[in-house]
C-alpha cells in the first residue's frame, strides 16, 4: 500500500513490537502504555522469546487486543525480527517489555510526518528524548539531547550514533527501511541496535523531536547488567565502526579531526575500551594533535558537576 494514498488524512497503521523474555514484572505496564496511545490506528505485537516465567499468561490475558507470538529463546534480535516480519504496519515502533510509552508518542510522531511532503514520509526516521525510571516507575533522570549536544547536527545520520544518543524505543521507522536494509543481527547480544542504526540512518532522512516519548527503565535484571561478554562485544563494534568512517564523516561529526578524536578518546576511556582508545590516540597523533591531561581532567570534572546539578534539579522540580 502506498503511503501517498492517505494525503491530508494521513493515518497509517503503526506496528508496536514488544519483545519479551521473562518479563512478568513489567510487561503489563509496557502493554498498557501501548494500548493507551492516543493514536488509534495501531497494532500491538508481543513476541515471547522463550520465557520460563508467567509472561505468557499475562500477555494472553489481553486477548484480541494484541497479536501474540511465541518462539524458542534466541535473544532480543530474533524476537524483534520476528515481530517486524509479522507486522502489517507501514511504520515500526519498538517497545522494550520493561519500558513505557507516553500516551502521545505515536500521535505526535505521525503528526510530524504529516507535515512532510508525501514522498518523504516513508523515507524519514524520527527519534526523541527520553526519561529514566527506576524499578518502581519513578523518574530519576531526564535525557534531554538538545541541551547537551549540537542541535545543528542532530539530524545528521551518524551524529546520534557516534554520540550514543539514540534510544531505539523512541524511534518511529518506516517498514520499508527494514525491507531495504535488513533486520537486526542475531549474532549480536547488545550492539544489535546500534549496528543496524549505523547501516540504516545514512540511507534515509533523520529527524530529531525534542519531546519526551519514552520512559526507559533502569533495573538490575536488564540485559545490559546480566548478559556476559557485553564489554568485549561493544569494543569490537566501536572499533569496527570508527575504522569504517571517512575523514569527511569524522569532520562533519566533530568539527575537525582533532576534536573528533579527542571526544572519542574520552568516550572510550570512560567505557574502558582500552584497545580502541589506543587506536584513537594513534590517530590523534597522526592528525597533529596531542592529549592534554590538564584539559581532559577539567572537562571530566565539568561534566560530573553538570550531571550532578541536573539530577538534583530533577529531584527538586
- Give residue-wise pLDDT tens across range 212-237: 999 999 876 655 555 667 899 999 99
Alpha carbons 287 and 102: distance in angstroms, whole number: 45
Give per-residue burial for 137-147: e unless 16+ CB within 10 Å, then b.
eeeebebebee
Pick among 2.30.30.700, 3.90.550.10, 3.40.50.620, 3.40.640.10: CATH of 3-226: 3.90.550.10
**125-163 pLDDT per residue, tens:** 999 999 999 999 999 999 999 999 999 999 999 999 999
Is 121's pLDDT higher than 90? yes
**162-218 pLDDT per residue, tens:** 999 999 999 999 999 999 999 999 999 899 999 999 999 999 999 999 999 999 998
Where exactly does CATH 3.90.550.10 map onto the chain?
3-226
Tell me if 45 sits within 8 A of 81, measured CB to CB.
no
**41-99 pLDDT per residue, tens:** 999 999 999 999 999 999 999 999 999 999 999 999 999 999 999 999 999 999 999 99
Residue 291: the pLDDT is 76
Q: Could you write out the DSSP letters of every residue in 70-138?
A: EE----HHHHHHHHHHH---SEEEE--TT-EE-TTHHHHHHHHHHTS-HHHHTTEEEEEEEEEE-TTS-
Is 283's pLDDT higher than 70? yes
Residue 114: the pLDDT is 97
Residue 275: the pLDDT is 96
Q: Which residue has the higher pLDDT, 17 or 270?
A: 17
Is 26's pLDDT higher than 80? yes
Task: Give SS3 for 48.
Answer: strand
Tell me if 78 sits within 8 A of 65, measured CB to CB.
no
Residue 290: the pLDDT is 83
Amino acid at each position: 500500500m502506498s503511503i501517498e494514498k492517505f494525503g491530508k488524512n494521513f493515518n497509517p497503521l503503526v506496528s508496536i513490537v514488544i519483545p519479551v523474555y521473562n518479563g512478568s514484572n513489567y510487561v503489563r505496564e509496557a502493554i498498557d502504555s501501548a494500548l493507551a496511545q492516543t493514536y488509534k490506528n495501531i497494532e500491538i505485537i508481543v513476541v515471547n522469546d522463550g520465557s520460563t516465567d508467567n509472561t505468557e499468561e499475562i500477555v494472553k490475558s489481553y486477548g484480541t487486543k494484541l497479536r501474540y507470538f511465541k518462539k524458542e529463546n534466541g535473544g532480543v534480535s530474533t524476537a524483534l525480527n520476528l515481530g517486524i516480519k509479522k507486522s502489517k504496519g507501514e511504520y515500526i515502533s519498538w517497545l522494550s517489555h520493561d519500558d513505557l510509552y507516553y500516551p502521545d508518542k505515536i500521535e505526535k510522531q505521525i503528526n510530524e510526518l504529516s507535515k512532510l511532503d508525501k514522498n518523504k514520509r516513508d523515507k524519514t526516521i524520527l527519534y526523541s528524548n527520553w526519561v529514566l525510571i527506576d524499578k518502581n516507575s519513578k523518574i530519576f533522570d531526564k535525557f534531554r539531547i538538545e541541551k547537551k549536544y549540537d542541535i545543528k547536527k542532530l539530524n545528521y545520520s551518524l551524529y546520534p550514533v557516534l554520540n550514543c544518543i539514540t534510544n531505539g524505543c523512541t524511534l518511529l521507522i518506516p517498514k520499508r527501511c527494514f525491507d531495504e536494509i535488513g533486520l537486526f543481527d542475531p549474532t549480536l547480544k547488545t550492539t544489535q541496535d546500534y549496528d543496524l542504526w549505523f547501516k540504516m540512518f545514512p540511507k534515509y532522512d533523520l529527524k530529531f523531536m525534542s519531546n519526551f516519548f519514552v520512559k526507559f527503565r533502569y533495573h538490575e535484571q536488564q540485559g545490559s547488567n546480566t548478559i556476559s561478554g557485553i564489554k568485549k562485544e561493544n569494543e569490537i563494534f566501536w572499533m569496527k565502526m570508527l575504522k569504517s568512517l571517512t575523514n569527511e564523516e569524522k569532520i562533519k561529526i566533530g568539527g575537525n579531526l582533532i576534536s573528533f578524536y579527542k571526544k572519542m578518546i574520552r568516550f572510550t576511556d570512560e567505557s574502558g575500551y582500552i584497545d580502541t582508545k589506543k587506536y584513537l590516540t594513534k590517530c590523534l597523533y597522526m592528525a597533529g594533535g596531542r592529549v592534554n591531561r590538564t584539559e581532559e581532567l577539567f572537562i571530566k570534572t565539568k561534566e560530573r558537576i553538570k550531571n550532578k546539578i541536573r539530577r538534583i534539579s530533577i529531584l527538586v522540580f
